[in-house]
Amino acid sequence: MTLHQKSRRPRLPSTFSLLSLFEAMATPHALDRYLELVDPMTTVRDLRAEITAVHRSTRDTVTLTMRPTQQWRGFEAGQFVQVGVVIDGVRHTRCYSPSCSQYRDDGRIELTVKAHPEGLVSQHLHRNAREGLVVSLSQADGTFHIPRPRPAGVLLISGGSGITPVLSMLRTLLDEGYSGDLTFLHYAYTESDVSHRTQLDAIAAAHDNIRIVFAYTDQEQGGDLHGFFGAEHLRSAAPWYADAETYLCGPPGLMRGVENVYADLGLEDRLHLEEFAPPLAVVTGDVGGEVSFTESGKVGDNSGLTLLEQAEEAGLTPAYGCRMGICFTCTSVKTSGCTKNIKTGETDSEPDKKIQLCVSVPVGDVAIEI
Amino acid sequence: MFAIPSPSLSLLPFMSTSDSPREQPVPTTLSYEQVQELGRELDEMRARTVAKLGSEDREYIYKIIKAQRGLEITGRALMYLPFLPPAWLAGVGALVLSKILDNMEIGHNVMHGQYDWMREPEFNSQVFEWDTVCPADQWKHSHNYMHHTFTNIVGKDRDIGYSLLRMDEGQKWNPYYLGNPVYAFFLMLLFEWGVMLHDLEIENVVKGKRKWHDVKPLLGGMWRKAGKQVLKDYLIFPALTGPFFASTVVGNVGANLIRNLWTYSIIFCGHFPTGVQTFTEDETSDESQGEWYVRQMLGSANIEGSPLFHIMSGNLSHQIEHHLFPDLPAHRYPELAPEVEALCEKYGLPYNSGGFFNQIGSVWGKIFKLALPNSLTGSKPTVGVIVERKKVAA
Ligand code: FES
């Protein structure tokens, strides 16, 4: 190790100065602004990825294998990345969790995207993703991952497209030769809605310590469990749950259900979760007041949508990333008024406070510094 | 000594007097209702264009970027052939074109936020930098904010004369202005540096209205930006051509100079030709959107030319359309121009447009004429259009 590092050290300054010479020549533009015109995958600073395989596993999901450029620093199972694609001239960015093992040896990542009926980006990817398409990518982020040393028992619970981060956890643990108790409990409407089902069956067949449990909410035959999550599901899927750590990702209904059961059992500390369904603005009662965007001087009636959407409707283009309250790209200063965080339900009436536009709705008059 | 007495001015071949306001002694009057209606029509025009924005606009700007990068690389490469004068000259030419495209059709327009809707980090007005010595953030303040908000308001729009020249009859004359044409000539040669210093408001620093701590951060920004530009054009690239160091410096100085000449000329044609109207602060306090639109139209002038000419001027040849819709992608202006002109006709407003030589001639005519006090040239501030700002009781 030490030797290896030493032998590399003297070469660093020379490559560095050559790069900075090129950067000085390209000033004021970034070197990548020249390189991308020749080959979008040859970059000095920007992280991008090329789609190398497209697989449509169910009628509304598509699995993409992507080769990131050399800046990619890898990820921990459970984390997410932001992927950007151009649709009708506009770059749209969304968060997805890789579903592959973090040790994949070709260094590629695999994303499973569910086409939501209203989802612009997911619909687009489902329809148009093809080999060779280059998308923009962010480094992995997020605190949802399994700590080291790995816990003795692991229960993974997912629903719908929430399968991706926990599937990545499962595959990663397998690659590590995990020998503890592991149950993978997955909720879907019906059997045909489960993506990666054949791979999951194969995994269960090959490992004694691993149980794959399919629960169907709209189908009464087949699978292992039926209906919604409850204490009975928990007991039958993983009787040792009280000594294990549970990782959960799925639609809001499932999340609330699991959280309630764990709260009743007094096991909140053992539950780790990631919210992946895009928050919907809950319009309760009458929506009133005015939203003013102080820097651009625009004012509009509060429509009940999130402040990010209201700003966009007013013709502004605030920066955003995930649009679901996790990346903080959209953070802006609320100068006055009361906002409600639709993820947490918390209201906030402190002036000059930084809030996330994408998960905040105005309650009455609000002024935002954009 | 450079001033020409006004009677001889109209004899200059490039002077056009056809649209001189003196020939329309009775100003057009716009009623309050007309102004509101005009505002609504322009708002609709804007909304129609915004709805159209998409892939076509994206492809357009990428095509321009590709052309600019190609020209730049060609220009730099041809500097290795100073012993073949035509090739070397072609190199200077390619560099001139590259810098003009970078500054005008790309830089100026991107920094206006015209491509922000693409949500492409590299085309975002917040982060874009251009190939000139003026730091983008300072330019956005002096141009996007000051000039586009207070367009042609004497005493507020610092683009009227750049605190150096007398460009309007409403500016008080003093003997300093006898040098008007000389200052203009040097401003033209050193235009990029003039643009850089613009946000400093040197005249206010001299008058003591601006304090050192306001100016200091600006100087820091200039030092960093200009330093990199100078290093690149006058040291790194020349050094890379080895034995041809000197000829490359000459080539790069030449390219920057010609670019200055061109950008100065296009920009001065935007607001200073004959027939352009200026305003006072009183006239324009608490404007409505409609009134703002009218001021932009009366205060701007277009240059006619071929599609290539429009691209090379960053479509600032459509200055009127640009001032109405500064954040719409500029390559849309040519398609908006006939509609805007038709609106002007409908409301009896002038639509100031002319060929390049006609417009630049009238600009220089003004530079010479305004070197002298109004009493000598017989000119006084003219008003072509009167805007009624209150509802007149029926
Ligand atoms: S856009 Fe990511 S937190 Fe709002």
Asked whether A325 lines ligand 1 (CB < 6 A), one says yes
- Nearest CB to B69 within list A34, A91, A93: A34
How many angstroms away from the CA of B42 is the closest CA of chain A? 16
What is the distance between the alpha carbons of residues A14 and B286, in angstroms, rounded to a whole number? 60
Question: What confidence score (pLDDT) does residue B63 get?
Answer: 97
The yes-or-no verdict on residue A282 having pLDDT over 90 is no
Residue of A29, A94, A323 to mutate, testing the B interface (most B Cβ within 10 Å of its Cβ) = A29
pLDDT value at residue B282: 85
pLDDT in tens, A257-269: 999 999 999 999 9
CA–CA distance, A178 with A209 (Å, rounded to integer) = 9
- Measured between CA atoms, how close is A27 to chain B, in angstroms? 7
pLDDT of B343 above 50? yes
pLDDT for A80-107, tens place per residue?
Answer: 999 999 999 989 888 899 999 999 989 9
Q: Give me the helices (H) in A176-228, please.
A: 197-206
* Strands in B154-279 per DSSP E: none
Are residues A29 and B236, on separate chains, in Cβ contact within 8 Å?
A: no
Ramachandran region of residue A268, left (φ > 0), alpha (ψ -120 to 50) or beta? alpha
Q: In this predicted model, what pLDDT tens digit does every residue of A149-208 receive, in sequence order?
A: 999 999 999 998 899 999 999 999 999 999 999 999 999 999 988 888 889 999 999 999
Q: Residue A92 and residue B119: Cβ atoms within 8 Å?
A: yes
Which one of A24, A90, A317 has the shortest CB-CB distance to B236?
A24
pLDDT of residue B116: 82
> Which pLDDT does position B16 carry in this prediction?
36
CB proximity A39 to B under 8 Å? no
CB A168, CB A100: distance < 8 Å: yes
Q: Dihedral sign, CA of B142, B147, B148, B153?
A: positive
A307 lines ligand 1 (CB under 6 A): no
pLDDT band (50, 70, 90) for residue A285 = low
Q: Which of A30, A37, A317 sits opposite B119 (nearest CB)?
A: A317
Max mean pLDDT among B22-31, B91-100, B139-148, B168-177 falls in B91-100
The pLDDT of residue B352 is above 80: yes
Sort out which chain A residues have CB atoms less than 8 A from B53's CB and list them.
Answer: 89
Mean pLDDT of B349-363: 95
Nearest CB partner across the interface for B117, out of A28, A29, A317:
A317
For a pLDDT cut of 90, what percent of chain B falls above it?
A: 66
Partner-chain contact B232 A25, CB within 8 Å: yes
pLDDT digits over A27-66, tens only?
A: 999 999 999 999 999 999 999 999 999 998 778 889 999 9
Distance A324 CA to ligand 1 centre (A): 6
Q: Per-residue pLDDT for B264 more than 70?
A: yes
Q: DSSP class of residue B207? A: T
pLDDT in tens, A207-246: 999 999 999 999 888 889 999 999 999 999 999 999 999 9
Quote the pLDDT of residue A9.
44
Query: Average model confidence (pLDDT) for chain B?
Result: 89
Structure letter (DSSP) for residue A67: E
**C-alpha dist (Å) from residue B212 to B67, B133, B224:** 42, 22, 18
Among A38-42, A208-212, A339-343, B111-115, which is the least confidently predicted range? A339-343
The nearest alpha carbon in chain A to B121 belongs to: A91
Give the model's pLDDT for residue A281.
Answer: 47
**pLDDT score for B127:** 84
In chain B, what residues touch A29 (CB-CB under 8 Å)? 129, 131
SS3 state of residue A113: strand
Indicate the pairing of strand A48-58 with strand A81-87: unpaired
Indicate if ligand 1 lies below 6 Å from the C-beta of A134.
no
Burial B7-43 (b: 16+ CB within 10 A, else e): eebeeeeebbeebebeeeeeeeebebebbeebbebbe
Whether residues A37 and B129 touch (CB distance < 8 A) is answered with no
For A66, the token pair is: 């992507």
Statement: residue B180 has pLDDT above 90: yes
- Scanning B58-97 for CB atoms below 8 A from A yields 58-59, 65-66, 69, 73
Per-residue pLDDT tens digits for A103-116: 998 999 999 998 88
Q: Does A18 touch chain B (CB under 8 A)?
A: no
Half-sphere exposure of A21 (CA within 13 A, CB side): 11
Residues of A within 8 A of B119 (CB-CB) are: 90-93, 317
Residue A33: its chain B contacts at CB < 8 A?
65, 69, 122
pLDDT exceeds 60 at position B118:
yes
CB contact under 8 A, B228 and A88: no
Which backbone phi and psi does A111 adopt, to 5 degrees? Answer: -120, 140
The SS3 call for residue A69 is coil
Q: pLDDT class for B189, splitting at 50, 70, 90?
A: very high
Residue A28's contacts (CB-CB under 8 Å, 6 or more residues apart) are: B129, B130, B131, B225, B228, B229
User: Would you say residue B3 has pLDDT above 60?
Assistant: no
Q: Could you tell me if the CB of A95 is within 6 A of ligand 1? A: no
Interface contact flag, A317 B116, Cβ < 8 Å: yes
Q: Looking at residue B17, what is its pLDDT?
A: 39
Tell me the torsion sign for CA atoms B107, B109, B112, B118.
negative
Alpha carbons A281 and A300: distance in angstroms, whole number:
17
What angle (nearest 5°) sits at the alpha carbon of residue A37, between those of residues A33 and A42? 75
Backbone angles phi, psi at B221, to 5 degrees: -60, -45
User: Which pLDDT band, with edges at 50, 70 and 90, does A327 fall under?
Assistant: low
Q: Do B232 and A86 touch (CB under 8 A)?
A: no
Tokens 């004959």 found at: B274
Query: What SS3 state is found at A114?
Result: strand
Q: What burial class does residue B257 get, using C-beta atoms within 10 Å of its C-beta: 0-12 exposed, 13-18 middle, 19+ buried?
A: middle
| pLDDT value of residue B4 | 28
**Nearest CB to B231; choose among A24, A30, A93:** A24
What is residue A364's DSSP assignment?
E
Q: Residue B148: which of B192, B196, B108, B204 has the closest Cα?
A: B108
Interval B193-206: pLDDT, tens? 999 999 888 888 88
CA distance A127 to B201: 55
Highest mean pLDDT among A304-308, A333-337, B121-125, B314-318: B314-318
In terms of CA atoms, which chain B residue is nearest residue A320?
B119
Q: Per residue in B224-248, pLDDT tens?
A: 999 999 999 999 999 999 999 999 9
Euclidean distance between CA atoms A59 and A195, whole angstroms: 9
Q: How confident is the model at residue B393 (pLDDT cuts 50, 70, 90)?
A: low
Residue of B nearest to A32 (CA): B122
Please give the pLDDT value at position B149: 86
| B225 contact A CB<8A | yes
Measured between CA atoms, the residue of chain A closest to residue B127 is A29
